[in-house]
Amino acid sequence: MTTLFTILFDGVAYGMLLFVLACGLAVTLGLMNFVNLAHGAFAMTGGYICAVLVNNSGWPFFAALPLAFVSAAAIGVALERTLYRHLYTRSHLDQVLFTIGLTFMSVAAVDYIMGSSRIFIKLPAALEGQFDFFGVGIGRYRLMIIVICGLLTVALQLILSKTRFGSRLRAAVDDPRAASGLGINVPQVFAFTFAFGCGLAGLGGALSAEILGLDPYFPLKFMIYFLIVVTVGGSSSITGPFLASLLLGIGDVAGKYYVPKMGPFVIYTIMIVILIWRPNGLFGRAAAR
Amino acid sequence: MLALAPAHAQETVKIGLILPMTGGQASTGKQIDNAVKLYMQQNGDTVAGKKIEVILKDDAAVPDNTKRLAQELIVNDKVNFIAGFGVTPAALAAAPLATQAKVPEIVMAAGTSIITERSPYIVRTSFTLAQSSTIIGDWAAKNGIKKVATLTSDYAPGNDALNFFKQNFTAGGGEIVEEVKVPLQNPDFAPFLQRMKDAKPDAVFVFVPAGQGGGFMKQYAERGLDKAGIRVIGPGDVMDDDLLNGMGDAALGTVTAHMYSAAHPSAANKEFVAAYKKAFGQRPGFMAVGGYDGIRLIYEALKKTGGKTDGDALVAAMKGMKWESPRGPIMIDPETRDIVQNIYIRKVEKVDGELYNVEFATFEAVKDSGKTKK
């Protein structure tokens, strides 16, 4: 019984991590209707920035995390202003080709600068190991992931539904022309949203280095996971991707534990079953654009 | 002058070195490339009156690339040797080309038994997984390890390691209580390790490709398997000298069987480690020693043929060759063209503040049991 809870705990932590990594993609894909396959490259950037700060410059881990967010967001906004915005009105195929090219460039660049072996971030001793909670093994690092990602999810939901910015964003998405007529600076709102999504990816990258591993192939290896989260969750809200991440995280961990021979296929099976049941994802809008 | 030019061109012996210099196996490629450079610095670039030219190509451990590169090297560059090969599929992809062109293929890394059987022109200077896995299987059964859970990567070398370990360990009276094959591209070991922990074995037998060992050991410690008294044993790949220091103290006490440790206490090795460290700023791993002996094999074979580059003559010259490698005495088996070498049982210990695989038992002149058992 305690094993079941350990598996559940590991699965939730894994799912939360997937959510933070993927929710930026859900925002660009769902809200901005832009296919950004280079999303994983921003995650990797955050991871490497955190690793360099902690390992080489001696920064504390918790100080490096916000910087991973900020720098990934800064790179995001710079690219959005210079490259991405020209592609908003182009076809999805153009967007896919452009962003996948960007991904390959980032892989080659990081391989060249940082080398291709897997990188670890030196963690503070407090985050290492497990403690026992009524017989359930709780990993300290995974617990931290759940806390950070949980808080982020709540904050994100509040920003989108309760703040002025949230309503501007929703207006800009639903009808950009009417929104700009009302005095909303649509390009600025989009740039900010895009940057925020990249920042979340960067933070996710920094957090995931310990669990998923960080090497130059990160964006390619996890692109499939990000896309599964968004497809299963549906792209019209962030509740969908959140539930999808949890479901997939728990499914993946439990699958690998209980049926190790099936291991990696459990996650695909879940995806197929859900998509047969709800072709637009868990919370998809049937008439999504 | 013009008449001299073609004669001069024949004075060059070309070696096509195909290695993964980018991608997940790049550390293998870099170690071998370094070792080849080091050997050539130490021994000059002329042998038997011929100038040695190494042409390095990056296959990123993708067999399709290996095949194409080997073909280009043989057909366009007219190389006299192809060498390197970071992973088993890469070595296999080049095998038919070696046979067709009668060009010796020197395998410096890949470790599946079958490789040398795929072409009469293949000679190996690295190791086979059967060599180390059978030895650790025997050792574990004799040293109080009764129940073992296995965790191996699901591809040819992983299956070799698993099968040879299992065969010897169970023959010695041991019991396998859990057997998990993890996908080669595995992001998270957590659920598999939890399964290992719940099986309550005396030890976990692990084989993951060099490079993933660090991730495995970190999660092993995170999940508290070390505190639960579950030891780690395996062939030495998981404890590559390259990664060992990055694993932290969780790796202490791990017992593995392998053909090389940077801590091997011989004069030849001390010299090799010092020269390697001086040239490249880090210690050599087992891949480096495979490359170092590989280029040495090429040099010695050319000396024996008097610089003749006929493929059959070169392979004949290599058969039965013996020398003192940094890893200890080695020989090329005249029947299988595979390497015969000592396998050492080593334990991870702290020496001068750094982690090393310290050898404490030696099994001498181990042949590849993948073939001798047939």
B192 contacts A260? CB cut-off 8 A? yes
Helices (H), chain A: 2-26, 39-51, 61-82, 92-114, 140-162, 164-174, 176-181, 186-212, 218-233, 239-258, 265-277
For the record, the structure tokens of B47 come out as 């042998």
In this predicted structure, what is the pLDDT of residue B2? 46
> Cβ contacts (< 8 Å) between B178 and chain A: which residues?
none
Q: Which residues contact A263 (CB under 8 A, 6 or more apart)?
A: A255, A256, B182, B183
Are B22 and A213 a contacting pair at CB < 8 A?
no
Cross-chain residue pair A253–B198, CB shorter than 8 Å: no
Contact B124, B334 (CB under 8 A): no
Q: Which residues of B touch A207 (CB under 8 A)?
A: none
Taking one residue from A and the other from B, the number of pairs with CB-CB distance under 8 angstroms is 81
Mean local confidence (pLDDT), A167-195: 86
Identify the pLDDT of residue A289.
Answer: 42
Q: Which residue of B has its CA nearest to A116?
A: B23
Per-residue pLDDT at A213 exceeds 70: yes
Buried/exposed code over B73-86 (b: 16+ C-beta within 10 A; e: otherwise) = bbeeeebbbbbbbb
Taking an 8 Å cut-off on Cβ atoms, the answer to whether A213 and B187 are in contact is yes
Cβ pair B194:A3 closer than 8 A = yes
Give Cα separations from B15 to B58, B70, B116, B121 (angstroms).
14, 11, 19, 15
Give the residue with greater pLDDT, A51 vs B187.
A51
- Could you tell me which residues are beta bridge partners of residue B148? B176, B203
Q: What is the pLDDT of residue B125?
A: 96
What per-residue confidence (pLDDT) applies to B187? 66
ipTM: 0.81
Residues of A within 8 A of B222 (CB-CB) are: 128-130, 139, 141
pLDDT in tens, chain B (374 residues): 444 444 444 589 999 999 998 877 888 899 999 999 999 999 999 998 899 999 999 998 899 999 999 999 999 999 999 999 998 999 999 999 999 999 999 999 998 999 999 999 999 999 999 999 999 999 999 998 999 999 998 888 899 999 999 999 999 999 999 999 988 776 688 889 999 988 999 999 999 876 778 888 888 888 888 888 899 999 988 888 888 887 878 888 899 999 999 999 999 999 999 999 999 998 999 999 999 999 999 999 999 999 899 999 999 999 999 999 999 999 999 999 999 999 999 999 999 889 999 999 999 988 988 776 54
Residue A7 with chain B: CB contacts under 8 Å:
191, 194
- Chain B residue with minimum CA distance to A264: B183
**Greater model confidence, A32 or B78:** B78
Inspect the interface and report whether the beta carbons of B23 and A217 lie closer than 8 Å. yes
- State yes or no: pLDDT of A198 exceeds 80: yes
- The answer to whether B194 contacts A7, with C-beta atoms less than 8 Å apart, is yes
The model carries a pTM of 0.84
Residue B365, both tokens? 């002149």
**Mean per-residue pLDDT for A64-75?**
95
* pLDDT for res B123: 96
Q: What is the mean pLDDT of residues A237-247?
A: 87
**Residue A288's pLDDT is what?**
44
Q: What are A's interface residues with B at a Cβ cutoff of 8 A?
A: 3, 6-7, 10, 14, 111, 115-118, 120, 128-130, 137, 139, 141, 210-213, 215, 217, 221-222, 252-257, 260-261, 263-264
**Lookup result for tokens 């962030």:** A238
Phi, psi of B200 (to 5 degrees): 45, 55
Q: Which two tokens stand for residue B95?
A: 């095998």
Which amino acid makes up residue B50? K
pLDDT, residue B210, reads 67
Which H/E stretch holds residue B261? none
| Among B27, B185, B191, beta carbon nearest to A117 | B27
Domain extent listing, chain A: 1-218
pLDDT of residue A285: 60
Shortest Cα distance, chain A CAs vs residue B173, angstroms? 26
Looking at residue B7, what is its pLDDT?
46
Does residue A45 contact residue A72 with C-beta atoms inside 8 Å? yes
Nearest CA in chain B to A118: B211
Say if CB B93 and CB B119 are below 8 A apart: no
CB–CB contact A116 B191 (8 Å): no
User: How far are the Cα atoms of A37, A40, B331 from residue A106, in angstroms, in the given order?
Assistant: 12, 10, 45
Looking at residue A287, its pLDDT comes to: 44
